[in-house]
Structure 1
């Protein structure tokens, strides 16, 4: 609402109607008139302000103005929120699309890698199966070889022992230089065992390695078991004279006798007629070099 105050109107009219004059000294009456005019001007201003106030009251109250401002602000905020929401949604959609594209590529790469790994796994599984089959075959072959080896060892020892069935050893017979072991054996057996052995009954007679510092044993090989039995039956008599007559036992059987002798459950161990025996309680058991002697003795001792 546009208006022009009365004061300003009066001033404007005064400017138009009053000529420009040089300032002159006013009289008392003129001063009185000027003061009166100023009071009138102030009164006019007051009236104008009152009129403006009334016009404002008629136009917008304070509450309405606050409501109007609040409404305008809400609309602006709503519009701003909508724009912001649009921007946020657009940005979120853009980011989601980027993430989706990124992970689509990763998933595709992972799928390819998984496919490659599955192929490798299948190949490795096949190779593992083949290796297990080969290992089983090798284990079976090894078991067969081990069994054959044990049997071969057993037979070898048995054959070796059989080849010595006509042999015996003389222990403790003093060794002399340039001795004739053949004649020495015949004389020794005759004097200490009371058995006469003919030259034709002896196949071989010679010294063999023995304990260091002692006379070496004499190994005697006879033609048959009959002649050997005649001599070996006199071993007790020979032993009483400080000598010993022992069977020619293989190294494997000697070790077996030693092992048996070290076990508490075994009272005694000995060789007889091509085999090794041990006494466990009241039982006499036959042992072989391929036996698990600890297990066998433990079972027999129960």
Structure 2
């Protein structure tokens, strides 16, 4: 009779199976819940990352547009600067030319009503006239050049005389005013 009190092995297997199955189902359920929670967290983080990526992509595109606009402005300003530099160089060259031209005329004298005659040597006639009329000693080497200017007015055409230095010109002009 000791076996009467004993549970049969088969019944015991069924009870153990039932307990193990329930435990396994609880474990599975718990694991599913934890897994689903983790998956939801990861999905939420991925969604946030996608939103951040979209925002960064939009910001990147805006920055590219700004860079393109800035590049266009820089190119235009560079062209304007090159044009300004070229015009500045032209202005400097022109100003230097005008200054040099004006400076080169510094020693010139314009002589009006200088008598004209056939086979005239303007240089020697001018030097003789200055020596005689103005009492200024001038030598041939003191005169760099001379020529008559075109004129539509009747009478002798005006003459330009370029002197070697301004001292001779000053003497001629001072003595001319005295007469």
**Structure 2-normalised TM-score?**
0.52
Q: Does 1:216 align with 2:121?
A: no
Q: 1:201-237, CA deviations, whole angstroms, 9 ceiling, x for partnerless residues? A: 222222233x322433222122222222211212324
Q: Does 1:230 align with 2:171?
A: yes
Per the alignment, residue 201 of structure 1 pairs with 142
Q: Does 1:151 align with 2:85?
A: no
Is the partner of 1:213 in helix, strand or coil? Answer: coil
Unaligned ranges ≥5, structure 1: 1-118, 239-302
Aligned-residue Cα RMSD (Å) equals 2.8
Is the partner of 2:114 in helix, strand or coil? Answer: coil
- The higher relative CO (CA closer than 8 Å, separation ≥ 6) is in 2
Alpha-carbon deviation of 1:168? 1.7
Is the partner of 2:138 in helix, strand or coil? Answer: coil
2:131 is aligned, of 179, 184, 190, to 190
8 Å contact from structure 1 (residues 185, 205) kept in 2:
no
Moved over 4 A (4+): none
Is the partner of 2:119 in helix, strand or coil? Answer: coil
Unaligned ranges ≥5, structure 2: 1-60
Per the alignment, residue 107 of structure 2 pairs with 166
Q: How does 1:127-146 map to 2 (within 5 A)?
A: 129-146=70-87
Alpha-carbon deviation of 1:166? 2.7
Q: Cα distance 1:190–1:143, how it changes in 2: closer, same or farther (>3 A)?
A: same
Q: Cα distance 1:148–1:178, how it changes in 2: closer, same or farther (>3 A)?
A: same
**Aligned-partner Cα distance in 1 for 2:71–2:118:** 69
Structure showing greater Rg = 1
Q: Cα distance 1:136–1:235, how it changes in 2: closer, same or farther (>3 A)?
A: farther
Alpha-carbon deviation of 1:170? 0.9
**Aligned-partner Cα distance in 1 for 2:162–2:85:** 38
Q: 1:122-154, CA deviations, whole angstroms, 9 ceiling, x for partnerless residues? A: 88x93x654432221121122222222222211
